[in-house]
Amino acid sequence: MSECLCSGESFTVCDSPARRQWIMATAGAGGALALTAIVPFVSSLMPSERALAAGAPVEVDIGKLAPGEMMVVEWRGKPVWILNRTPEMLSALKKAEPMLADPASAVTSQQPAYAANETRSPVPEMLVAVGICTHLGCSPSNAFTPGDPALGADWPGGFLCPCHGSTFDFAGRVFKNKPAPTNLEIPPHQYLTDTRLIIGSDEFDKT
């Protein structure tokens, strides 16, 4: 059995198995405490999911979106519609104009300047719109079929809000005498290529 000697400035450490285990346990506990302290600090340097969702642009592949099809993506916690409009849908825009509250998109807060046109898009075939009714925040449903019996023989096709009956055309423009006060919001967006779209940023248009 080893002995511990302490005489003046001379000190011999006991080299017993119990002491070695105690030293290792103490070192391990210290390392664990240090790691515990480091992890929250490192985490604090990383952006949270909420922060990313609050403003991060969303890049979307639209290469497989066929004419007449619509996809929905999330941006800033909102549903964003991406509709590849058919020639028939585009021709319905002109037919709908006399029935619309704001056919010329005069309420400028609802779209970027490059979307203040008949199609409300820099690319006529594509509609990119926030799918939230401007009345009380419900999400409109597809009502693509012209002359839908529920909407009347003169219905040109578009979207119907199931909550209070607001209707919108294929450019997200609101029809007259409906609860919704304005057209649907067009978010900032940019076409990176013919098949890639980024929502939430239009900086590439700025020169």
Q: Catalytic residues, which ones?
A: 164
Q: Are 126 and 196 in contact (CB under 8 A)?
A: no
